[in-house]
Amino acid sequence: MARLPRLVVPNQPHHIIQTGNDRQTIFRDADDHAAFLVWLRQAAKQSRVAIHAYVLMPDHIHLLASPAEAGGLGQMMQWMGRQYVPYFNGKYQRTGTLWQGRYKATVIESDRYFLMCSRYIETNPVRAGLVALPEEYPWSSIGHHLGIKHDAVITDHSVFWALGNTPFDREASYRAVLDQELGEREVQALTEATLKGWPLGSEQFKARLAKLSNRRVEPARRGRPPKRTAESERSSTSS
């Protein structure tokens, strides 16, 4: 069965995962992280993509981003690869691909899943055992959201702004969001949706996306339709 094209919806948040080939390390020192973030900011600006949250893990990255146009995500990720991969290969005297295939992405419903996805991304280093607290990890957007530092990569989403009328209110509310432990089902739902490319949201949200995109937004049901029996045929013709 042919693979459906990636579903990208303008002005809607998307969760993105890009993994190193064979889970190899893609950031070896602080300069690698810093170079990637400089290019990420530039790529997002020229592709008209708003980055709302990110984390650079040793062997993969997570982004929460909204493209202004359907082609924006692809343009941003492609341009990033053209900058970072030659940089990395030249620095560490290696050749070949750095990424494991295409990046993975899913559309998420803002009202229900934006904060969950942002929390999922910024607490990833804690779940991986790299730090005890999310703000201890220097290569994520957590410092911006907690008011520790300004991050030029980040464009705040309206859901984040709705957390409070002042920066202090928003930061305090976001801290409360972080303190809510992510359940295993939430982590699994977001991970599976992203890896498989199916939207994450309510049935009404998925129905709107299906109508908007004129395509299937959920996995097809397995198996053939049930056979019609002779009795059901008689019933349908007599009714």
Q: Is the pLDDT of residue 235 over 50?
A: no
Residue 180 has what pLDDT? Answer: 86
Decide which of 224 and 159 is more confident: 159
Q: Is the pLDDT of residue 134 over 90?
A: yes
Dihedral sign, Cα of residue 156, residue 184, residue 16, residue 207: negative
What CA–CA distance (Å, rounded) separates 127 from 79? 30
What CA–CA distance (Å, rounded) separates 218 from 197? 9
Span 51-78, pLDDT tens digits? 999 999 999 999 999 999 999 999 999 9
Give 115's pLDDT tier (boundaries 50, 70, 90). very high
Residue 171 backbone dihedrals phi, psi, to 5 degrees: -65, -40
Q: What is the mean pLDDT of the chain?
A: 89
In the chain, what are the domains? Answer: 14-210 (3.30.70.1290)
Decide which of 234 and 101 is more confident: 101
| Share above pLDDT 70 across residues of the chain, in percent, rounded to a whole number | 90
Give 237's pLDDT tier (boundaries 50, 70, 90). very low
Span 176-185, pLDDT tens digits? 999 888 888 8
Query: Taking the model in full, what pTM does it have?
Result: 0.87
Which region holds residue 29: left if phi is over 0, alpha if psi is between -120 and 50, else beta? beta
| Number of other residues whose CB lies within 10 A of the CB of residue 193 | 21
Decide which of 189 and 175 is more confident: 175
DSSP secondary structure string for all residues of 1-40? -PPPPP---TTS-EEEEEEBGGG--S--SHHHHHHHHHHH
Q: Is the pLDDT of residue 5 over 60?
A: yes
Residue 1 has what pLDDT? Answer: 42
Residue 156 has what pLDDT? Answer: 96
Residue 93 backbone dihedrals phi, psi, to 5 degrees: 50, 55
Give 213's pLDDT tier (boundaries 50, 70, 90). confident
Nearest residue to 36 (alpha-carbon basis) of 53, 22, 52, 56: 56
148 Cβ neighbours under 8 A, 6+ residues apart: 135, 142
**What's the rounded mean pLDDT across residues 212-228?**
67
Decide which of 69 and 193 is more confident: 69
Core vs surface per residue 172-183: b (16+ CB within 10 A) or e: ebbeeebeeeee
For 37, 49, 65, 78, the CA distances from 101, given in Å and listed in that order, are 21, 22, 20, 12
Q: Is the pLDDT of residue 154 over 60?
A: yes
What CA–CA distance (Å, rounded) separates 43 from 72? 10
Give 223's pLDDT tier (boundaries 50, 70, 90). low
Q: Is the pLDDT of residue 150 over 50?
A: yes
What CA–CA distance (Å, rounded) separates 152 from 75? 20
> How many angstroms separate the first and last alpha carbons of the chain?
38
Decide which of 183 and 232 is more confident: 183
